């Protein structure tokens, strides 16, 4: 079985989801980040993984569920931090972030099975990726990939196929980066903590 990795920031006001502060206060943005992280970790706990590891920038809080290990993020650019996160797995692993609270255990499960494939790729609507799975993690597959630009996903997927890996795709998802993203994700996943908090905050703002 494979390891599930979540790379995340602790939900501290002023440090997370700063792009949401055009519509929300820093404290509200951090609360939305916490809701997204908790929804994500719920899906991770329910998924059929061998290990579940939170690769965290910051300190864990009472929001951390049982059954999840915590390791600190490495220093450096996002490509360096992702490569270091995969090294924690010591074997096949699927990595995702905290920006897709609509994710479910059923969405994650295929990406934990590497039968007949070398890699899984979950494209994000903004041109990046929300999930990456590697049967044999290798830092060379990540280091130097430009992150947080419109062609990040294309470059990363090209890095995989260019290495001769067989790649399968997970469904595309929308990352929560902007207020418009938040509204879209909340509408698509109404049963989540994220959607409930988003509705409450928007009602207060009216």
Question: β-strands 69-72, 51-57: how paired?
Answer: parallel
Q: What is the pLDDT of residues 23-79, one digit of tens each?
A: 999 999 999 999 999 999 999 999 999 999 999 999 999 999 999 999 999 999 999
Q: What is the CATH number of the domain that holds 126?
A: 3.90.550.10
Q: Domain count of the chain?
A: 1
Confidence of residue 1 (pLDDT cuts 50, 70, 90): confident
SS (H, E, C) the chain: CCEEEEEEECCCCCCCCHHHHHCCCHHHHHHHHHHHHHHHHHHHHHCCCCEEEEEEECCCCCCCCCCCEEEECCCCCHHHHHHHHHHHHCCCEEEECCCCCCCCHHHHHHHHCCCCCCEEEEEECCCCEEEEEECCCCHHHCCCCCCCCCCHHHHHHHHHHHCCCCEEECCCECCCCCHHHHHHHHHHCCCCHHHHHHHHHHHHHC
pLDDT at 55: 98
pLDDT at 205: 63
Nearest one of 42, 52, 39, 41 to 1, comparing CA atoms? 52
Look up the domain containing 85 and give its range. 3-205
pTM above 0.85, yes or no: yes
Q: What is the pLDDT of residues 84-138, one digit of tens each?
A: 999 999 899 999 999 999 999 999 999 999 999 999 999 999 999 999 999 999 9
């Amino acid at each position: 079985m494979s390891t599930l990795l979540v790379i995340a920031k602790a939900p501290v006001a002023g440090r997370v989801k700063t792009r949401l502060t055009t519509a929300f206060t820093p404290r509200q943005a951090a609360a939305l980040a916490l809701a997204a992280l908790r929804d994500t970790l719920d899906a991770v706990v329910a998924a059929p993984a061998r290990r579940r590891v939170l690769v965290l920038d910051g300190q864990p809080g009472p929001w951390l569920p049982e059954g999840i290990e915590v390791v600190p993020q490495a220093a450096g650019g996002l490509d360096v931090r992702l490569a270091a996160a995969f090294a924690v797995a010591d074997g096949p692993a699927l990595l995702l972030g905290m920006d897709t609270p609509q994710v479910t255990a059923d969405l994650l499960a295929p990406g934990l099975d590497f039968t007949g494939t070398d890699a899984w790729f979950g494209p994000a609507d903004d041109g990046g990726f929300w999930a990456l799975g590697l049967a044999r993690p290798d830092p060379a597959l990540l280091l130097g990939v430009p992150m947080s630009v419109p062609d990040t996903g294309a470059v990363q997927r090209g890095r995989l196929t260019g290495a001769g890996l067989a790649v399968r795709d997970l469904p595309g998802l929308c990352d929560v980066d902007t207020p418009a993203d938040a509204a879209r994700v909340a509408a698509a996943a109404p049963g989540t903590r994220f959607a409930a908090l988003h509705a409450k905050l928007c009602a207060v703002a009216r």
